[in-house]
Amino acid sequence: MTLLKIVQRQKLLSLGLLMLTLAIGIMIGTLVNTGVHAARTQSAAPDATPLHVPDRVVLGNEFTKLAKSVDPSVVNITADYTPKASASNPHKKGQGGEDQDDDGMDLFRRFFHGDGESPSPSFRRQQSGSGFIVDKNGYILTNNHVVEKVDRIRVKLHGDDTEYKAHLIGFDVETDLAVIKIDPRSSLTPVVIGNSDEMQVGDWAVAIGSPFGLEASVTAGIISATGRDIGARQFQRFIQTDAAINPGNSGGPLLNIRGEVIGVNTMIATQTGGYQGIGFALPINMAVRVYNDIIRSGRVTRGSIGIVLANGEKPELLKALGAKNGVLVQSVEKGGPADKAGIKDDDIITAINGKAVKDGDDLVNQVASSPIGSVSTMTVDRDGKKMDFRVTIGDRAEVFKNNPRFADQQDETEEPSPDTTTQARFGIKIRTLTDADRESMGLPQGRQGVLVTSVDPESFAEDIDIHDKDVIIAINRQPVNSVDDVRRIQSKLQPGDAVAFRIMRMQSLDQKRAPQWLTLYASGTLPR
């Protein structure tokens, strides 16, 4: 073996030993490093036991069952309106016109949820509340102040992103109740009506609604009081509860522990505008009567005998006049039922049909709930003498038709103005085309039709894409030559009818050419 080969072999051996040494060093370093990290991990909490999530177990209780059964029946209501210009602040008397306390805070507040003041009456505003389904065909009970004097009502069902258009069936200012209706895609789940007269102080109470727009919020508490008179209106005697209710709960149901509706959440007592533990619900027994009247005739009829009772009576008054119970007649409406029957001022009504009258509220409630045209026997104490009078119950709206107190029960529908611009119920303002219109718009002389001068925001016309300055030439294949033609056609249409407008629309103008007009159709179903 030559010297050169020996040297080469020694170099290869040295290189192999070097590589082996490096490999062993890397292995030892890795093991040491891993051991150090493991030691550090173990030493962070050596006496701790890892946590484990248990298998899912459904824990049910009565409130859980109640919420699941009622949630599908509670709805969120959104109403849009354009406020009218006013020099006064509408919140000066609170959201429902209630009197303020000495600190200028609303003590009793109707709690729909609004989006705040708008800087100008031209800006559309929105308010929201709650309601509950009482009929599978889409009838919903809510508070009147949620939907009164608004342009459009929209309803969302729990678990359904669809916004259903609703129309107002009727309302009652005295109880602050309203009935609205939607056209559902399928049968709905109505609530179960309970009996509010069976509720006692201390019973469980559950409120469901959309406070601050948070749909299907459930809160629980107890009945704090019944028959609570807070000086709101004659027929409002509330159930008081401490179940948490806030702006947006208005019109939602108050339930007993069985999930039956026993009240309509209407008002809260607050100095901050939010929940302070005192809420008021109109008893469902009263609400049912109002609802039944509305679906029968569109309005609530209440009986009256045409008398005004003395206010602020003290027990000493009746005692001094020699009566043990009853109410003093302050005045008798001339020509009214009591006047015709012979009842006079200063008479004391002590009984109705043999049943003793406790106080003024007792008398009013009995008379108001009596059928119009029925006859009741009024027992009267007149100067210490007992006398009976047969009185025919009249319709309060007719008996006191000249009393402005009852004027707000009427629907404030504005009549069309007598000028050339007429408000059509499609949500448009129109006028008959003139020769000047035809010339300025580049229409052929002799072209008949009506010119759309404006389209109401979020109206039926806007929904079907009718524009300002469109010219309507036919509706449902019937020629339109004047505003009177539109009136005649629309008078024969009913909510739910299909309507097709044939219109002419001006295309973008080219200054070098005459205006171009396109004829097209706009169609839709009239809202119910």
* DSSP state letters, 450-484: EEEEEE-TTSHHHHTT--TT-EEEEETTEE--SHH
Question: How far, in Å, CA of 179 to CA of 95, rounded?
Answer: 20
> Structure tokens of 176?
């602050």
pLDDT at residue 449, rounded to an integer: 92
Q: How confident is the model at residue 99 (pLDDT cuts 50, 70, 90)?
A: very low
- Give which of 288, 307, 304 is closest to 296, Cα–Cα: 288
Q: Are 286 and 275 in contact (CB under 8 A)?
A: no
Phi-psi region of 138 (alpha: psi -120 to 50; beta: other; left: phi over 0): left
* Residue 257 buriedness (CB in 10 A; 0-12 / 13-18 / 19+): middle
Give me the mean pLDDT over the 444-453 stretch.
87
Question: How far, in Å, CA of 466 to CA of 2, rounded?
Answer: 108
Question: How far, in Å, CA of 244 to CA of 219, rounded?
Answer: 6
- Give which of 294, 198, 292, 271 is closest to 239, Cα–Cα: 198
pLDDT at residue 1, rounded to an integer: 54
Task: Please indicate whether residue 151 or residue 20 has the higher confidence score (pLDDT).
Answer: 151
102 has pLDDT over 50 = no
112 has pLDDT over 70 = no
Q: Is 516 helix (H, G, I), strand (E, B) or coil?
A: coil
For strand 204-209 and strand 74-81, is the pairing parallel, antiparallel, or unpaired?
unpaired
Lowest mean pLDDT among 89-98, 128-137, 180-189, 340-349: 89-98
For strand 238-241 and strand 192-193, is the pairing parallel, antiparallel, or unpaired?
unpaired
Q: Are 366 and 377 in contact (CB under 8 A)?
A: no
pTM score over 0.85: no
What is the DSSP secondary-structure string of 320-348?
HTT-SS-EEEEEE-TTSHHHHHT--TT-E
304 has pLDDT over 70 = yes
77 has pLDDT over 90 = yes
pLDDT at residue 252, rounded to an integer: 93
For the segment 32-55, what is each residue's pLDDT rounded down to a tens digit?
555 545 545 556 888 888 899 988
Q: How confident is the model at residue 7 (pLDDT cuts 50, 70, 90)?
A: low
What is the DSSP secondary-structure string of 216-255?
TEEEEEEEEEEEE--SS-TT--EEEE-S---TT-TT-EEE
* Residue pointed to by tokens 């059964």: 69
* Residue 202 buriedness (CB in 10 A; 0-12 / 13-18 / 19+): exposed
pLDDT at residue 103, rounded to an integer: 35
Give me the active site residues, please.
145, 176, 250
C-alpha angle 7-13-14 in degrees, rounded to nearest 5: 90
Q: What DSSP element (H or E) covers 100?
A: none
139 has pLDDT over 70 = yes
Q: What DSSP element (H or E) covers 269?
A: strand 260-269
386 has pLDDT over 50 = yes
pLDDT at residue 313, rounded to an integer: 66
pLDDT at residue 232, rounded to an integer: 57
Q: Is 120 helix (H, G, I), strand (E, B) or coil?
A: coil
Q: Which residues pair with 526 in a beta bridge?
A: none
3-state secondary structure 130-166: EEEEEECCCEEEEEHHHHCCCCEEEEEECCCCCEEEE
Q: Are 207 and 235 in contact (CB under 8 A)?
A: no
pLDDT exceeding 70 applies to what percent of the chain? 77
**How crowded is residue 108: how many other Cβ atoms within 10 Å of its Cβ?**
21
> Structure tokens of 293?
């009247």
pLDDT exceeding 90 applies to what percent of the chain? 35
> Structure tokens of 209?
């609604």
Contacts of residue 28, Cβ cutoff 8 Å, sequence gap at least 6: none
Give me the mean pLDDT over the 306-319 stretch.
78
For the segment 231-280, what is each residue's pLDDT rounded down to a tens digit?
656 677 889 999 888 888 889 999 999 999 999 998 887 777 777 788 89
- Give which of 65, 62, 61, 71 is closest to 191, Cα–Cα: 71
For the segment 164-182, what is each residue's pLDDT rounded down to a tens digit?
999 999 999 889 999 999 9
Q: What DSSP element (H or E) covers 308?
A: strand 307-309
Q: Are 200 and 223 in contact (CB under 8 A)?
A: yes
pLDDT at residue 215, rounded to an integer: 80
pLDDT at residue 127, rounded to an integer: 86
For the segment 197-239, what is each residue's pLDDT rounded down to a tens digit?
999 999 999 999 888 878 878 999 999 999 887 765 667 788 9
Mean pLDDT of the chain: 80
* Residue 434 buriedness (CB in 10 A; 0-12 / 13-18 / 19+): exposed
Rounded-to-5 percentages of helix, strand, coil across the chain:
25, 30, 45
- Contacts of 326-334 with CB under 8 Å at 24 or more apart are 326/350, 326/351, 326/356, 326/357, 326/381, 327/357, 327/359, 327/360, 327/363, 331/307, 332/306, 332/307, 332/308, 333/306, 333/307, 333/308, 333/399, 333/400
Q: Are 207 and 190 in contact (CB under 8 A)?
A: no
Range with top average pLDDT, 11-15, 222-226, 443-447, 505-509: 222-226
Give me the mean pLDDT over the 299-319 stretch.
82
Within 13 Å of residue 120, how many CA atoms lie on the same side as its CB? 2
List domains and CATH numbers for the chain.
Answer: 64-297 (2.40.10.120), 306-408 (2.30.42.10), 422-525 (2.30.42.10)
pLDDT at residue 512, rounded to an integer: 61
Give me the mean pLDDT over the 431-454 stretch.
86
Q: How confident is the model at residue 26 (pLDDT cuts 50, 70, 90)?
A: low
